[in-house]
């Protein structure tokens, strides 16, 4: 079994390191890491395909003398595991350039390192080879569920036709927008969507009304939440576009993730951080079929998260849609993400 490991701890960092998923960064926690205290130099991380901390994931120790930086990624083959009674098993991986297939083939020095790292073996615990490691991985994935996530950008709103800025301005749908949303509901029914799906909708009227029209067909009671609102442009919310253009702060030629058009607005970083908690919720909960009704920029960021991109990637990658665009992403139990379609118009 071959996976991608993301490095979380190296011997160069004595303190216990914690991954901050929102910002794709690391911070030091109080106390030295177990590896540092026991003089074990092999790096440590998690299998990207299994999930992202703090959500459920699989840890792995990499048997290599390569020098990594925190956040580096590499391919490893799984050769063993330390089984723990509390279920917090530690897989053992080897880089692909090593001619080794099982824990038993490690050097005596490497085995000593591992037994020094976890010397206490309670009943049922201990170091095992590739066969047991693969059983652990298969059992882990058997608990994970296939998720279907459908995202709908709200349909034509008053601000699309009256020259105003939307953002947190609470505009309603036009009559045409209501008709478009109703058509989306009929189209989703053909996509096997029904009231077995869970639906989240932004609390701004143009999104909640889109959900309302869709549910004349699907019959879902949506969860209305402000977490998936559009980006907040502060003083610019609901203002005429010309006023916005003349009064916003100048924006430099270089991309700035912390740029705010007004003091009370959100930056790209702020929006990402707001949405990330929602992303973590839908990834880790037991819902297998989810519909999200939201807004253009908010959905662009959510799509990036679902596709495995980090905040640093949004400077070069954006999924831009139009009013009424529909996207479908499937997350398989093994972590594979399939984009069935992104920002497709269906009316």
Could you read off the pLDDT of 42-68 as tens digits, one per residue?
999 999 989 888 888 999 999 999 999
Query: Taking Cα atoms as reference points, which of 277, 281, 329 lies closest to residue 306?
Result: 329
Output the pLDDT for position 101.
96
Could you read off the pLDDT of 67-99 as tens digits, one per residue?
999 999 999 999 999 999 888 999 999 999 999
CA distance 217 to 213: 8
User: What structural domains does the chain harbor?
Assistant: 2-143 (3.90.80.10), 147-344 (3.40.50.1240)
Show the tokens assigned to 267: 């930056």
Output the pLDDT for position 335.
82
Chain centroid, CA 183 distance in Å: 30
Could you read off the pLDDT of 183-230 as tens digits, one per residue?
999 999 999 999 999 999 999 999 999 999 999 999 999 999 999 999
- 5 membership: H or E segment, kind and range: strand 2-9
Once rounded to an integer, what is the mean pLDDT over residues 17-27? Answer: 90
Contact between 213 and 205 under an 8 Å Cβ cutoff? The reply is: no
**61 CB contacts (<8 Å, ≥6 apart)?**
42, 43, 44, 90, 91, 92, 93, 114, 117
Output the pLDDT for position 225.
98
- 198 membership: H or E segment, kind and range: strand 198-202
- From 71-75, 115-119, 293-297, 300-304, the region with the lowest mean pLDDT: 115-119
**297 CB contacts (<8 Å, ≥6 apart)?**
230, 231, 271
Contact between 5 and 48 under an 8 Å Cβ cutoff? The reply is: yes
Contact between 310 and 273 under an 8 Å Cβ cutoff? The reply is: no
Query: What is the number of other CB atoms lying within 10 angstroms of the CB of residue 170?
Result: 17
As to burial, measured by CB atoms within 10 angstroms (0-12 exposed, 13-18 middle, 19+ buried), residue 330 is middle
Cis omega (within 30 of 0) for bond into 54:
yes
Q: In the β-sheet with 223-225, what is the strand arrangement from edge to edge? A: 223-225, 198-202, 289-294, 147-153, 326-331, 337-344
- From 123-127, 159-163, 301-305, 317-321, the region with the lowest mean pLDDT: 123-127
In the predicted structure, residue 116 carries a pLDDT above the cut 80: yes
The DSSP code for 165 is -
Contact between 2 and 59 under an 8 Å Cβ cutoff? The reply is: no
Output the pLDDT for position 38.
95
Output the pLDDT for position 122.
74
Q: Which residue has the tokens 């998720």?
A: 147
């Amino acid at each position: 079994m071959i996976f991608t490991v993301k490095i979380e701890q190296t011997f160069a960092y004595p303190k216990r390191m914690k991954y901050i998923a929102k910002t794709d960064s690391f911070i030091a926690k109080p106390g030295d890491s177990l590896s540092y205290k026991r003089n074990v130099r092999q790096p440590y991380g998690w299998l990207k395909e299994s999930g992202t901390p703090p959500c459920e994931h699989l840890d792995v120790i990499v048997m290599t003398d390569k020098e990594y930086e925190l956040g580096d990624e590499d391919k490893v083959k799984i050769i063993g595991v330390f089984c723990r009674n509390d279920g917090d098993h530690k897989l053992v991986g080897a880089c692909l350039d090593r001619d080794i297939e099982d824990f038993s083939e490690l050097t005596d020095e490497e085995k000593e390192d591992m037994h020094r790292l976890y010397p206490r073996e309670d009943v049922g615990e201990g170091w095992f080879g590739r066969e047991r490691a693969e059983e652990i991985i298969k059992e882990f994935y058997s608990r994970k569920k296939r998720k279907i996530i459908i995202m709908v950008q709200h349909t034509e709103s008053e601000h699309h036709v009256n020259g105003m800025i939307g953002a947190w301005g609470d505009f309603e749908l036009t009559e045409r927008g209501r008709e478009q949303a109703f058509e989306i509901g009929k189209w989703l029914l053909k996509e096997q969507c029904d009231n077995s799906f869970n639906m989240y909708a932004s609390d701004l009227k143009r999104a909640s009304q889109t959900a309302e029209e869709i549910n004349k067909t699907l019959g879902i009671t949506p969860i209305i939440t402000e977490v998936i609102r559009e980006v907040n442009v502060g003083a610019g919310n609901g203002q005429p576009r010309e006023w916005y253009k003349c009064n916003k702060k100048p924006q430099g030629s270089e991309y700035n993730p912390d740029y705010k058009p007004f003091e009370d607005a959100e930056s790209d970083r702020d929006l990402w951080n707001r949405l990330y908690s929602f992303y973590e919720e839908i990834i880790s909960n037991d819902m297998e079929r989810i519909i999200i009704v939201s807004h253009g920029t908010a959905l662009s960021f959510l799509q990036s998260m679902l596709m495995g991109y980090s905040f640093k990637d949004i400077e070069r990658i954006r999924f831009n849609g139009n009013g009424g665009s529909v996207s479908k992403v499937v997350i398989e139990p093994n972590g594979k993400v399939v984009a069935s379609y992104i920002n497709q118009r269906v009316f």
